[in-house]
Each structure stands twice: as C-alpha cells, then as structure tokens.
Amino acid sequence: MESEQLLNDRLFGLVCFLITSARGLYSEPETYGPLRLIMGASQLLRTMEEAGLSDKALSAIAAKIDAGRRNITKDRQSGIDFLEELVIELAHLVKER
Amino acid sequence: MSILETIKARRSIRDYLPTPVSDEVLHQLVEAAAWAPSGSNAQLWTFVVVQKRENVHKLKILSPGIIGEPAAMIVICRDLERAKQLGIAGTESVSAWMSDGMAAQNIMLLAHELGIGSCAVRSFHPRVVQILLDLPAWIEPQLIVLLGYPTKEPTIPYKRPLEEMIHWEQFARSNP
C-alpha cells in the first residue's frame, strides 16, 4: 500500500512536471524543450526503478541522463551530441529486446 | 572571505541535503535581500519564505525549473499595490526586474558565505505560485531562490574570458 502510494505520488509529480513544462515552454529558451523532455524521461526512469520495474540497461540510461543533462543547455552541438548518443543506445536496447 | 572570493565561489546548487535551514538564517537572508538597491528606492518586493516540507514539495512539482528538493525557498514577489501608490510601473517595470535580481544575488551571496547552496529559478507559473501561497492578485511572484545545504562540492562552470567582455572607453571591434 505504501509503495503504491509512493508510485502514485511520483507519477502525479511527473504529470505535474510535464503539464507545467508544456505551458512554460512558450516563454522559455528553445533548449529548454529538449531539457524538460529528458528530465521527464529521467523522472519516469527513476520512478520505474523505485517501483522495481526497471532493469540494468534502463538504470544505466537514467544515470547517463543525470550525468550529462547539462550538455543540453551548454550549447546546441553539445546537446545534440549528448541526445544522439542516448538515442543510439536506445536503438540497440530496443533491437536486443 | 572577501566579497570577490564569495562572488567567484558561489554556484547554482541543485542537489540538496534534507537538513533544514534555520529560521534565524532565513531571516538574515531576507534581510540581505531587502538591503539590495531598487529603482527609485521603491522596494516593491515582498518575500515569502517556504520551508515546510510539504509546501516545498508542492511548489517543486508544479515548477519545472526546480530541480532537486531544496530545504527552503524564498519567493521574491512584487507588490503592485505599492507600485500604484508610488505612481510607478508595476508588472512591466524593467528596473523592478533588475531590483529583484539584485535582491536574489544578495540572498545567494550571503547563503554561500553561510555554507548554504542556492539557485535562482524563474521557470514557474506565477498564477500557480499565487494559488499555492495564497498570494493576492497584486502580489506577483518574480523569482524563487532555492536554498539548502549542498550534497557535494559543485564543479567550476565555464566563464567567458574577461578580455572578451571588457572594453575601455570605447567598444573595440576585434573582427570588423
């Protein structure tokens, strides 16, 4: 019950984050779009971990996001390179599943 | 620590320990903010200190710019009634925005000197903050300063070389 409540709170938090981000992005810098999306993905992955729904590969992606998310706002090319690497990693992950 | 050392050592902190920041320190930080310069000395600001865990969390989940879970927040607001009484622009006042920024910087510098991490956030929805904090319509939230003891030593961010930004007497065009 306790973990169900925690999952509910985390998912509700994510919904709040996504909706308020969507509204905020009309008046925020362009790079905040990818940043908010990737942070939403990070929140979801962490929630999956807490709920026991993750695996080693997904945890590695979450860790990679947390370590590199600042690249997104550093400059355009750093952001593209960082996200490109994540996308390629996801492609291999999807292929193997 | 000299003022310049404090300025150079301050970082925007986004990972905080759950250790609370005392009322006394929060009071000092607001005092530092209130001593900032303000356009026409109008002091249009008013400050809401948020430190109860559940209130911090509610603000966090509805403000995309708040990363991590700070121990406390100081919401810098603008009093539009006061602006009206003084006969100066309220919502769109550029000098009031600058004043809010200077107040935030005072908070962050003193916080750093006291060993507390901070981060100024503007990515929030003002109406949402008004609802959560019971602010009347004439009290507009402008900036939220997150506060808390840092979990780790922050890295030194890239700073443009001073030579690239400083000009003496006239603007020097290196690449006409």
| pLDDT higher than threshold 50 for residue B156 | yes
Whole-number pLDDT of residue A6? 82
Smallest Cα–Cα separation from A64: which of A47, A89, A91?
Answer: A89
Q: What does DSSP assign to residue B87?
A: T
Using the Cβ of A20 and the Cβ atoms of chain B, whether some distance falls under 8 Å is answered with: yes
Smallest Cα–Cα separation from B42: which of B112, B121, B98?
Answer: B98
Using the Cβ of A41 and the Cβ atoms of chain B, whether some distance falls under 8 Å is answered with: no
| pLDDT higher than threshold 80 for residue B90 | no
**Chain B hits for A12, Cβ within 8 Å:** 61
Terminal alpha carbon distance of chain A: 31
> Are residues A17 and B64 in contact, defined by beta-carbon separation less than 8 angstroms?
yes
Q: Chains A and B: how many Cβ contacts under 8 Å?
A: 25
Q: How confident is the model at residue B175 (pLDDT cuts 50, 70, 90)?
A: low
What is the model's pTM?
Answer: 0.88
Distance CA B16, CA A77 (A): 30
Whole-number pLDDT of residue A4? 83
Nearest to A16 among B61, B65, B158 (CB): B61
A54-71 core/surface letters (b: 16 or more CB in 10 A; e: else): beeebeebbeebeebbeb
Q: How confident is the model at residue B89 (pLDDT cuts 50, 70, 90)?
A: confident
Mean per-residue pLDDT, B149-167: 92
Q: What is the pLDDT of residues B100-151, one digit of tens each?
A: 999 999 999 999 999 999 999 999 999 999 999 999 999 999 999 999 999 9
Per-residue pLDDT of chain A (97 residues; tens, 9 = 90+): 467 888 889 999 999 999 999 999 999 999 999 999 999 999 999 999 988 888 999 999 999 999 999 899 888 999 999 999 999 999 888 888 7
Whole-number pLDDT of residue B169? 93
Distance CA A60, CA A88 (A): 14
Residues whose CB falls within 8 Å of the CB of residue A6, separated by 6 or more in sequence, listed in order: A50, A51
Pairing of strands B72-79, B117-121: unpaired
Domains along the sequence of chain B with CATH: 3-165 (3.40.109.10)
> How would you class B13 by CB atoms within 10 Å of its CB: exposed for 0-12, middle for 13-18, buried for 19 or more?
buried
Residues whose CB falls within 8 Å of the CB of residue A37, separated by 6 or more in sequence, listed in order: none
Residue B8 in tokens = 């150079």
Domain extents in chain A: 2-96
CB pair distance less than 8 Å for B64 and A13: no
Whole-number pLDDT of residue A96? 83
> Are residues B78 and B90 in contact, defined by beta-carbon separation less than 8 angstroms?
yes
